Amino acid sequence: MTSGNARDHRGTTEVDVHSDEIQLSAELCTRFAGHFRFAEQTAYVTAGPLLVDTLATNREQVLSGHSLSEFTTVPVGATWIPRVEDLPDEELDPKRIAVVLLAGGLSFRSGGIIHPLLTLEDPVGRDRHTLIRRQLNRLAGSPLAAAKVFIVGTLSNRDTIEREVFQPDRRPTVYAGGLAPRLAVRQHRTGAPILAGSDPGVPSYNPLGHFEALRWLILSGSMADVVDLDIAVIVVMSYSNWGHVFSPTTLRLARSAARRQEADPRFFLLGEVERCPRGKQAGSILVQRSDEIRTPRLVKYNYGSGNLNVAPGDTILMSTNTLYFGVRNVLHRLADAANRLSPEGLDLRTLFAEAKSGQRRRQLLAVFDEAFPVAPQLIATRTGAGTEFLRIERDLDQLTLLEGELPFAAVLVEGERAVFIKLPEDLADPAKRAYLFES
């Protein structure tokens, strides 16, 4: 599965199949062996590959067999979801925050037009900056200026991003997430999954989704910097969000996450949610399961089959895709996993430091998977030429779906916290452009 040449998701750039980012992601394909679910019309066909039912497969993998029909949206007025203005008026020192910018640059929705290295001209100053550089400039002039900055990209854009954001005085750390091969839309009931590729024997690879922000922060060894700098909270956000994310509100939410992890050793994740139109389909929706009242979860419609129950009202609560991780409890969870795997003990600091130089990453991966057993999902996609394939992804949101866990809290924020530019029409929208070019 990982021999020979390979190409990136655009089918244009060769990637090193021997890199850890590919080698340590290959097993995500094999997790589907014998676990695919198939379309009803082919369910009784015994010979040849069968058409995969992605929603039914995701129901078993992502929702642990539960149907979306078992989930109901959290009412907008739910008193147990605090508003950000109700939080204590305290801020976390930005030096104790790590900001992780998601900059994979897949651009599926825009057909490759919108990406972190897209250059735009400021209509006022006539300066030209890439989107990622513009975001870093905004951050540098904000209350979060003293935060440690990480940027997670892919094997295809990591080196280019690193050159683009180079700052001798205060250099962001750039790392790449994992890549997995595309899968064919038809699969056998048993055996290794069938790969999809534009050329025979040359699979095309896709990044694995936003879960890589956490996974490769640890596997790359960058977690050693987090520990050495005494970081209390990791804030993960997308470079494509041009809302007011570099503000005192972020410091306030980070402080809330830090306090929560001190009060509850199980807690490690806080997420922002906002009011959205009831019929909005794209994005992560705040829900609760019928047998878990007041236990918030985040789901997307592609996480499984069934019909989500929508509470009365014109609006629902959805994630802004800005998440806060309590570092101390993340480390505690990793340490507990390490102890389960190795009763004689594993020193996490040593593992993080050695992972920086590419050593013992497979051992660290075993610890990570034990600590955060998030299942992969399938997403049906088409190439520009119309060829169908399945890509494997994992979302950070899926951490809220871990069975029996209570790791997650949600806080209601205003819409100015989430203003995304992902499509060409977003760039042409005057309201969104005002966020993009504001000082």
* E strand segments, 196-257: 205-207, 233-238
Taking residues 175-194, report their average pLDDT. 93
Taking residues 351-355, report their average pLDDT. 96
Banded pLDDT at 39 (limits 50, 70, 90): confident
Taking residues 225-248, report their average pLDDT. 96
Q: Say which CATH topology domain 6-437 has.
A: Spore Coat Polysaccharide Biosynthesis Protein SpsA; Chain A (3.90.550)
DSSP state of 4: S
Taking residues 111-122, report their average pLDDT. 78
Percent of the chain with pLDDT over 90: 66
Place of tokens 């997430």: 177
- DSSP H helical segments within 18-146, as ranges? 20-23, 27-30, 54-61, 131-140
Lowest mean pLDDT among 110-124, 225-239, 413-427: 110-124
Backbone angles phi, psi at 89, to 5 degrees: -80, 65
| Model confidence at 111: pLDDT above 70 | no
SS3 149: strand
Backbone angles phi, psi at 29, to 5 degrees: -65, -45
Banded pLDDT at 4 (limits 50, 70, 90): very low
| Model confidence at 11: pLDDT above 70 | no
* Tokens read off for 337: 């996993």
Distance CA 133, CA 101 (A): 12
Percent of the chain with pLDDT over 70: 90
Rounded to whole angstroms, what are the CA distances from 115 to 109, 118, 178, 192? 11, 6, 18, 33
> Which of left, alpha, beta for 321 (phi over 0: left; psi -120 to 50: alpha)?
left
Run of H or E including 253: helix 248-263
Banded pLDDT at 107 (limits 50, 70, 90): low
Rounded to whole angstroms, what are the CA distances from 268 to 245, 259, 333? 20, 11, 9
* Inter-residue long-range contacts of 132-136, CB under 8 Å, 24+ positions, other chains counted: 132/101, 132/103, 132/161, 132/164, 132/165, 132/239, 133/164, 133/165, 134/436, 135/101, 135/239, 135/242, 136/165, 136/172
- For the entire predicted model, the pTM comes to 0.93
Lowest mean pLDDT among 25-39, 223-237, 309-323, 381-395: 381-395
Domain ranges of the chain: 6-437
* Tokens read off for 265: 């050793």
Q: Mean of the per-residue pLDDT values for the chain?
A: 89
Q: How many CB atoms lie within 10 A of CB 104?
A: 25
Contact 324, 233 (CB under 8 A): yes
